[in-house]
Amino acid sequence: MIFDKDGTLVDQQTWDRVTGSLLDHLFPDVETREAASRAIEYDLDSRSISPGAAILAESNDQWIDRLAPFDPDGDKPAFGERVESTIAELIRTNVCALDGADELLGHLASTDVLIALATNDSEASARNQVALLGWQQHFDAIVGYDSGHGAKPAPGMLLALLEHFHVRPADALMVGDTWADQHAAEAAGIPFALVQHGNLSEIQEDVVG
């Protein structure tokens, strides 16, 4: 069973808080912060990522690309490293699990089902969050956008996991909350289960309707 992370096991409120603090840190100038917020569809008033925002499904490097033009230093590699290190610091005090995720992972760990995480976050960040949540014993594999298999919606991560575990697509299940998860699963030939939060009503209609 392959899980997406954010919005599937990790509460999206984690990223509402981390993204807000990240923007405060990166862009102390108010006008620049407001412009950067619009570029990633983050609402500074409600301190939350807007429903349906592209960054909910994008890999870290994609939304770093959206923020980089607002960096006054103009050094994109250095900016990207600063973003990742700031997130790693902010995550320590903000990461929280979705209701029921602890129980579900604990239950699955008592079975012989193989459990993997496939996220568009970086692998290091994902491993950090899994450790903070006490889930490291539950996962047989963790891959991120930078693990060498590409990012969702391309199927590379999922195909690499199937190969690693010697599992056929039809015998696996992908669980996620965005169109990127759904498309990656379909491209890999893996059945897909949608976690519904109202983030992406269009795929809910596709899947449920």
Nearest to 161 by CA among 203, 197, 129, 190: 190
Backbone angles phi, psi at 204, to 5 degrees: -60, -40
7 binds Mg ion (CB under 5 A): yes
Min. distance of Cβ 202 from Mg ion in angstroms? 15
3-state secondary structure of 192: strand
**Selected binder of Mg ion within 6, 71, 121, 146 (CB under 5 A):** 6
Judged by beta carbon, residue 64 or residue 98, the one nearer Mg ion is 98
Number of H helices and E strands in the chain, helices first, is 9, 7
Judged by beta carbon, residue 146 or residue 177, the one nearer Mg ion is 177
Cβ-count burial 6-18 (b if 16+ within 10 Å, e if not): bbbbbbbebbbbb
Judged by beta carbon, residue 34 or residue 133, the one nearer Mg ion is 133
Binders of Mg ion among 139-178, rule CB under 5 A? 177-178
Judged by beta carbon, residue 156 or residue 176, the one nearer Mg ion is 176
Min. distance of Cβ 5 from Mg ion in angstroms? 6
End-to-end CA distance of the chain: 24
Min. distance of Cβ 102 from Mg ion in angstroms? 18
What distance in Å separates the CA atoms of residue 197 and residue 80, rounded to the nearest whole number?
29
Q: What is the DSSP letter of 6?
A: B
**Selected binder of Mg ion within 4, 11, 121, 146 (CB under 5 A):** 4
Give the binding site for Mg ion (CB under 5 A). Answer: 4, 6-7, 177-178
